[in-house]
Amino acid sequence: MTSDMPTKSNISQILGLEQSQGYRKYMKWLLVLILLIMAGVIIALIWMRSKDSAAVVYQTREVKRGNLVVTVTATGNLEPTDQVDVGTEVSGTIESVEVDYNDSVQVGQVLARLDLTKFEAQVLKSKAALEAAQAKVMEAEATVSEAQKELARLERVRTLSNNKVPSEHELDAAVASLKRAQALKASAKAQVFEARAILEFNETDLAKAVIHSPINGIVLDRNVEPGQTVAASLQAPVLFTLAEDLARMELHVAVDEADVGHVKKGQEAVFTVDAYPDRRFPARIGQVRFGSQTVSGVVTYVTVLNVDNSDLLLRPGLTATADITVKKVEDAILVPNSALRFTPPVKEDESQSDGGGIVNSLLPRRPKSWKKQHREDSTARNTQQRVWVERDGKLVAVSVMTGATDGILTEIIEGDIEPGMAVVVDILEAAR
């Protein structure tokens, strides 16, 4: 009877109790694992929030009192005060060149000579033509004298013959002959004037065949060699370039249209050239031209600076960068321009970033970002601005009235700013 009774284990197998206990054990461990994951997420969120709430570290600069120099920068090239291009008005072959580069020349000094053979021949021909014209004048004068005497004889005969002889026709013919002789004389004299003019013209060409210096100066350029043929047509060829006085030079710079209103005659400037990078040369504005130049859409105005080059270090054509002093401010309160550009970061609205309840707090999301705060008063951007200072661990805005600036420092005209105060210029470490 005992063998026929089912055992406890058999009953458990029949009822499936062992499988249900294993399932409960599995679910228990799964629940523990889920709870551990949720605890880790909560701890991570708390750590991230504590990190987000860390204090922001700002970079500051000290407000100073000092002098401010406002400059305008422009580039250009050095040029001689008086530069002359010497050419020739006549064509011919260069016979000789009397000067070379860098030679000093005086007014009237011979620079070059053309072959004079053709010019001298033309002068001789013109002289011969003049002498021939003068001979024709003498011949015409003799003819006039002869016609006058013949007319006088006929008039005397007519008087003695009581107007009987000669006839009226003969008398009129004598008068006409005299007038023709006088006309020929006038024509001969005109030919003399023409021949003399041609002679003077050819003598001028002969003189211009010898090229002289028009100024006292130095030879900058020579574009001709002996034996070279030059042809003067509509434009005279440039043979030499002379500079009158290199001890006084001009610097022609292009001033931008945004700065030309501050540049005036008489202002001081300094400039540098690549040939002497460690030296600054003084200059003074002599002229600000009204005519504009447009290059690649940029409008500039040529400004001429007078330069003293007594030591002859500077040369024509050197590229120079000039700093023109347009304003000087002494004993001013100065703040860095970066302090005027700084605006404090502001966290995004917590109500927007934390919306969605506990589900969103548990789900992964991007860190909170910082954004720039816009200035409210856009009409006062030119002079009415503000700087930020730290007071009791918080940023406080201070309204100021700005003046001149040199691009690095700005003058403070009005505002609760004193020398020695620390103004915020940037953020060194911000909350995430």
Query: Mean pLDDT of successive 10-residue segments in the chain (432 residues)?
Result: 50 52 73 84 74 68 92 95 91 94 94 95 95 95 94 90 87 93 94 95 94 93 93 84 91 95 95 95 96 93 96 94 94 92 69 45 42 37 77 86 90 89 82 48
Phi (first) and psi of residue 11, to 5 degrees: -65, -40
* The pair of three-digit structure tokens given for residue 106, joined into one six-digit string: 């005086």
Q: Which strand (E) or helix (H) includes residue 425?
A: strand 422-429
Q: How far is the C-alpha of 38 from the C-alpha of 267, rounded, in Å?
A: 75
Tell me which DSSP letter residue 236 carries: P
Neighbours of 381 (CB within 10 A): 9
Q: Which residues of 122-134 are buried (b: 16+ CB within 10 A; e: fewer)?
A: bbeebbebbeebb
The predicted structure's pLDDT at residue 28: 77
DSSP element (H, E) containing 288: strand 276-295
Q: Which two tokens stand for residue 136?
A: 């024709």
d(CA 284, CA 309): 13
How far apart are alpha carbons 50 and 333 in whole angstroms?
41
Cα 285 to chain centroid distance, Å, stands at: 16
Q: Are 78 and 320 in contact (CB under 8 A)?
A: yes
pTM score: 0.63
pLDDT value for 249: 94
Amino acid at 221: D
pLDDT at 379: 33
